[in-house]
Structure formats: structure tokens, C-alpha cells
A and B are shown apart, each in its own frame.
Chain A
Amino acid sequence: MLGFLIQRLLQAAAVMVVISALVFVGVFAIGNPIDVLIAPDATQDIRLDTIRRYGFDQPLWKQYLNFVTSLVQGDFGRSFVFNMPVLQLILSRLPATLELTLVAVIGATIIGVPLGMYAGYRPYATASRAIMGLSVLGFSLPTFWIGILFIMGFAVELGWLPAGGRGDTVEVWGVQWSVLTLNGWSHLVLPALTLSLFRMALMIRMARAGMREAMLSDYVRFARAQGISDSKVIFGHVLKNISIPLVTVFGLELAATMAFAVVTETIFSWPGLGKLIIDSIQSLDRPVMVAYLMLVAFLFIMINFSVDIAYAALDPRVRSGRT
């Protein structure tokens, strides 16, 4: 198990280095940041001075090296637009995205898995067909379109819920949270639901497929033959077996949902990371883009890593196969 851990950690570190180089070169190709930083009527002296101050006169590899060096020291650079340290900027936006993502993914799991299990348990029941129809909808409708429909229905027509913003927040450990106030929840419900529909559809499908296969398997037949009730078979045996792919999806979706929050946050003007990255792409705010992408990459790698570990813990076959 320890060898497996170390091997995975080394791989993760290598991947991180590769991604940082790719991101840096990729982002470097976008536009000329000087145009953003300086007024068009600035003199040549100011122009050159700014270029030198931000290190744009150095070759690309040297800029990358400087970037990595300061990165290791915990310095992500300064945002061109907000003129504040990028790390501080990102950390101030992170809680909003985090709470949106968590509520969406946890909600999708709590609702989606039981629905999917039922649909797999009684595949031909009308309710199951309705559930599957719902999941096709959840898969097909683009996130931004669901958001628009929700705003249209609940905010504009019915006027029940606000169309955007974060609402009242409560400060805990120096961080603002919307999940702790009623008003915050009223702002959170629509974006979280928008974001979660796709994951919910996915959870329904995974749970249903797992359930259908499991119900036909020998161990279920055997358990039933012993006279064990269906509910005991399902919650005692089947759930454990189908939870392996579900844990993978949960982990991977957590990260993917954070990425997808870009769309949801733009629609609901939720002041999180996703809105920050769209704004910074449009305003060519390079340090913010690089830092955001690195952060997401880091999160992805960490989540993949934890999923691998969880897999090994849940499935003895993986553990014995790799160590």
C-alpha cells in the first residue's frame, strides 16, 4: 500500500509540472497584456518601464522560471486588473464557488442515487421510466439553458427567488458563507439546482446500471434464496458493490462541477471563481488565469489521487494488484 501511495504521489507531482508549463505557454499566447495595463496615450518611457517592471522583456523560459520560483514561495503574482495579490483574490472568491459546488454535488448524490437504485430495481415501472426520462433531460439540457429557464420561471414570472447575487452571508473563521442564512439559501437554491441537474442525471444512470447488473448476479440470487429480504440484500450487499463506481464519479464530478460552475456563476452573477476567470479571460488578466488554471489542475490531481486511494480501500482487487 505504501509503495502504491508513493508511486501515485510521484506521478501527481510530474503531472503538475507538465501542466504548469502547458498553462503558462498557453496563457502567454493570449493577447498582449501591455494594452490592458497602460493607457493608450501613455508615453514610450512609461510603456518600456511597465514592460520591464512586469518582466515582459525577458524570454519566455525565463518568465516561466521566475513564475515557478515565486510560485514555490507562495507568490502567484499580482492581478493586472484588481492590482492585488492573485492568491488573495482567489481565496476571497473560493468560498462562494466551494459552497455552490458542494451543495450541488451533495444534493445530486442524495437525490440521484436512491432514484437510480429504484429505477434499476424496478426497471419497467412507470416511475422508473419517468426517472429515466428526467435523467435524459438532465443530460441533454445545457447548463446555461437550465439556468435561464429557472431565472425566467422562478425569478421573473413567479418572483419567488432572486435572479442573482449571493445574498446575506455570515462570517465564520474570517470567511463569508451564504449557506448559513435563510436569505443566502434563497440565492443559492437556483444556481445549485442548475449546476446539479447534470450530475444528478449521471448519478441516476450509474446507480441504475449498477443496480440492474447487481440484481442479476449470483450473490444476490443466493442471498434471496436464503430468504433474506430484498431491502436487506440491497442495503447490505448491493449498495456496497455499486458504491465503488459511485465514489469515483462523486470525486471526479466534484472537480468537474467546479469547472462547470463557470457557466452557472456567469448566469446567476454568483461572485465566485468561475465569474473571475471569465472576467479575466476577457480582460487578459494573465496572472489570474494562470493561477486559476493551476489551482483547478491541482484540485483535479488531488481528487484523482484521493479517488485512487479510496478505490484501493474499497476494492481489495486494486490494492493487491498494484502493491
Chain B
Amino acid sequence: MRRDASPFLRFWVEFAENRLALFALGVVVLVVGAAILAPLFTPQDPYDIGKLVLGDARRPPGHVGSGGYVHLLGTDAQGRDLWSAILYGLRISIQIGVTAGVVAFIVGGSLGTIAAFAGGRTEALIMRFIDLQLSFPAILLALVISAILGQGKWQLTIALVASQYAYFARTAHGAAVSERAKEYIEAALSTPLSSRVVVFRHILPNCMPPLIVVATVQIANAISLEATLSFLGLGLPVTHPSLGTLISNGFQYMLSGRYWISIYPGIALIVLILAVNLVGDQIRDQLNPRLQR
């Protein structure tokens, strides 16, 4: 590799050295691609209630339904083709996970940076509140918020953001405090630049590496938390099933041996979470200055 290669190229080359992480990245791309292009690969629109036939309900994998096509992974209790329902469910899960992660990133990141820059009372107030929230388990908070707001995509996203932004805020605050003490910030402050420019153009970009690490963990967490809430019946309604809802619906039939309704959505879920976590692990190792070679 040339010495003057761009930092992104260097990062990529180092990333590609870890075969497992590279494979995981491939899986993430594949799963996300399949979810986005779901209508192209699925024989049925699982949200079109008019097309669901109850006679097709709870059929094992390989059953040829009344629609005339093979249900590769079987059907669920509403007669949905599971393969279609899984791809559409992945869509919802990824959408909610990524939205929640990004919003929490923005809200938490700015809050933490602003607190570090403002200092004094403002900082103490913001950080005390965040410490308080962090001492509370995220799942309980999400549980209560989604119970208050009710079922639905947006309600769920809000619950996830509210229970996750604090991790970003704490991380951003820690990084920003150490950046703020450095000389280049002092130099930037001595120029007539507004403090907003200093915060967002100078401090924030330098706090990015730890925030990105938190983001990879939190997106995987958000997807998992969404599935958990849906499983508990507090997430998405049965008419628009996410992976968690699908698993939850199948759970009651599992004891009678109809394993496929729960198992296949579950496999899709863990493949996604596992792959995101493996990619995140590698990124964390590369961004951690303590492990720098």
C-alpha cells in the first residue's frame, strides 16, 4: 500500500485483512439488499390481508399453497408465506434499528458535545441526567415507553431512541472533554469563529471514532431490542409483523412441533445481528488507539 493512500483506503485494507469481518460485511450487505428489494424475491405481499388464505395456515416448509407456488419455509398462523414475511419483517427491523440508531447518534452526540463545550451547570445537569438514565436498564425504559405510546413503527422508534441516546451522549461527552483541552481547540477559539462552528467543525469530527464504535453496537442492539419488544407484544402489530412479531406468533405453536414459524424468522434475526456485531467488533479494534499496532 502506498504511504500517501487516503485514510479510508488504509482503513479498508486493514479491515479486509480480517476474513471473518469481511465475510460478515458481505452477509450484512446481502441481507440488507434482500430486505430492500424484498418485493422482487417474494411470491406474496404479506401485508395484503386480502391475499391471505386461512386454509394455508401453519403449513410445513415445501407445502404448495392455494396460490399455486411452493411455500419454501412454510406458512404462519395467518396463512402468510414465511419467506415473504421474513424478508418484509427484515425490512421493518432494519428500518427501525437504523433509524433509531441514527437519531440516537445525532441527539446523543450533540447533547454530549454541547455539554462538554458548555461546561459548568449545563454540563453537570445534562450529564447527571444521562448518568441517571444509564443506571436504568434500557429494556425497562423501552418497555414502559412503548407501553405508554402504544403499538406502531414510530412509537417503537421513539422508545428505542429514548433508551439508547444516553450511550452516545456519554461517549461523545468523554471524547469532547479530552478534545476541548487540546491546543488546536484553544487556537480555534482564539479566532473569531463562532462557538457553534468550533463545536461542530472542530470538536465533533474528532469525537467520531468512539461514536462510530458505539453506533455499530447500538444498531445491533436496537434491532434486538425491537424484536424483544415485539416478542413481548409491545412492538409491532400482527398486521405488519417484524421479525420479533413473527417469532412471537410462532412460539405458541412450537410446543406442538410446528417449529418453522418461530425458527426461521429467528435465524434471519440472529444472522443479521451476529453479522452486524462482527463488523462492529473489527471496526472497534481498528479504531481503538490502545490496540494500535
Contacts and interface: CB of A to CB of B under 8 A. Distances in A.
A148 B252 CA distance: 11
A148 B251 contact: yes
B232 A262 contact: yes
B281 interface: yes
Given A144-B231, A144-B247, A300-B135, A136 B140 contact: no
A4 interface: no
Contact of A136 (B139, B224, B227, B274): B274
A297 B136 contact: yes
A231 B132 CA distance: 40
Contacts of B251: 148, 267
A87 interface: no
Given A30-B147, A260-B137, A304-B135, A156 B257 contact: yes
A172 B65 CA distance: 57
A139 interface: yes
Interface string A165-201: 0000000000000000000000000000000000000
Interface string A131-164: 0000011011111110011011001100000010
Interface stretch (B68-76, B94-102, B171-179, B258-266): B258-266
A195 to B, nearest CB: 12
A37 to B, nearest CB: 18
B28 interface: no
A26 B72 CA distance: 45
Contacts of B233: 278, 282
Nearest to A132: B281
Nearest to A156: B255
B254 interface: yes
Contact of A263 (B139, B263, B273, B274): B139
B148 interface: yes
B232 A266 contact: yes
A308 to B, nearest CB: 11
B254 A262 contact: no
A143 B254 CA distance: 17
A148 B273 CA distance: 17
A286 to B, nearest CB: 11
A281 interface: yes
Contacts of B266: 145, 148-149
A140 B267 CA distance: 12
Interface string B182-202: 000000000000000000000
B143 interface: yes
B254 A151 contact: yes
Nearest to A137: B274
A262 B232 CA distance: 9
A278 B220 CA distance: 24
A281 B147 contact: yes
A148 B277 contact: no
Categorize the interface residue count of chain A. Answer: 35 or more
Contacts of A260: 137, 139
Contacts of B269: 142, 145
Contacts of B270: 140-142, 145
A323 to B, nearest CB: 20
Contacts, number: 97
A288 interface: no
Given A26-B148, A281-B147, A152 B232 contact: no
A301 B132 CA distance: 9
B144 A26 contact: yes
A293 interface: yes
Contacts of B278: 136
Contacts of A266: 232
Nearest to B144: A26
Nearest to B273: A140
A301 to B, nearest CB: 8
B234 interface: yes
Contacts of A27: 144, 148
B281 A136 contact: yes
A2 interface: no
Nearest to A284: B147
Contact of B135 (A29, A252, A282): A252
B254 A156 contact: yes
B242 interface: no
B228 interface: yes
A256 interface: yes
Contacts of A262: 139-140, 143, 232
A228 interface: no
Give the one of B227, B231, B244 with max A CB within 10 A: B231
Interface in B39-74: none
Contacts of A301: 135
Q: Which of A141, A252, A296 has the most CB of B within 10 A?
A: A141
Interface of B: 132, 135-137, 139-140, 143-145, 147-148, 220, 224, 227-228, 231-234, 244, 247, 251, 254-255, 257, 259, 262-263, 266, 269-270, 273-274, 277-278, 281, 290
Given A27-B144, A263-B232, 15 more contacts: A141-B274, A144-B247, A145-B266, A148-B266, A152-B259, A152-B262, A156-B254, A163-B255, A259-B137, A259-B140, A260-B139, A263-B231, A278-B233, A289-B147, A297-B136
14 contacts: A15-B132, A136-B281, A140-B224, A140-B277, A141-B270, A144-B232, A155-B255, A263-B139, A267-B251, A293-B140, A297-B136, A300-B135, A301-B135, A304-B135
